[in-house]
Amino acid sequence: MSNLQEIVKEGKYIYGIIRNSEPLNYGPIGMGKRADLVYSICFKGISAIVSNSPIIIYEARRVNMITHEKVLEEVMKQFTVLPVRFSTISEHDDDAGILRILEKDYKKFDEMLNKMEGKKELGLKILANEAAIYESIIDKYDEIRIMRGKLINLPADKTHYQRMKIGEMVAEALKKETDNFKTLILDVLNPLSEDQKINDNYGEMMILNAAFLIKNSVEPAFDKAVNDLDAKFGHLMTFRYVGTLPPYNFVNLTINTKGV
């Protein structure tokens, strides 16, 4: 009997906040395996996008993250959205709990929506093409090229120190070149954006890992700038350009669902 009593309680999973007064229904695309209905709950022209959900902590697994993002992407087709932190669940199983959250944090939501209105996040990752970038370093740096030429036909066991030295010089040159490219690219793109977030690179071949907040009206110019850079440097690097994204890099929205 005790096992039957340990039924998981129901709450409301919160995906995002938008400015809207009309009821919205996005269909059965909610979190988890139940495919709950995703819909809006409105208070004074600001709505929370929610679905029913058991009150659990969703693991940050790919399938869950994709579901969360797909809901936001659907909403973003019509609205500017403030993405809410993954696995935020109100502990109330009715709309009243969400209405209390909207009322309590109304001023904060209103200000953040004003700041983000008419803007979107675009992502750009740039990776150096290893063979091409190394070849360009050999061409550009005389000292490396000359030393490499002297060693190329000598036995490796006799030139261990010199080869280590070349390796260090190439690594230093690679860092210098990727930093220069990063600066050059940002000098082109930053003036077109409202804000930028430079994220950590992973691996020495990554030149840039960035998010840009841009006005919708500027998107064609930003697209053209990225395409022009790709045309200019595409032989040396690969551009991975993604948009439109939920503005996670520019909105840090944590909702306190306790006590409301």
Q: How many CA atoms lie within 13 A of 10 on its CB side?
A: 8
Per residue of the chain (260 residues), what is the pLDDT tens digit?
445 445 778 999 999 999 999 999 999 999 988 889 999 999 999 999 999 999 999 999 999 999 999 999 999 999 999 999 999 999 888 899 999 999 999 999 999 999 999 899 999 999 998 888 888 887 777 676 666 666 666 666 666 666 677 777 778 888 888 899 999 999 999 999 999 999 988 888 899 999 999 999 999 999 999 999 999 999 999 999 987 788 889 997 888 777 55
CATH 3.40.1360.10 applies to domain 120-245: no
- Nearest-angstrom CA–CA distance, 32 and 67: 8
Residue of 101, 42, 94 lying closest to 260 (CA atoms) = 101
Judge if the upstream peptide bond of residue 183 is cis by omega within 30 degrees of 0: no
Judge contact between 166 and 173, C-beta under 8 A: no
Question: pTM value?
Answer: 0.81
User: What is the pLDDT, as a whole number, of residue 243?
Assistant: 79
Domain ranges of the chain: 2-117, 120-245
The answer for residues whose C-beta is within 8 angstroms of residue 29's C-beta and 6 or more apart is 35, 38, 51, 67, 70, 71, 74
pLDDT of residue 102: 95
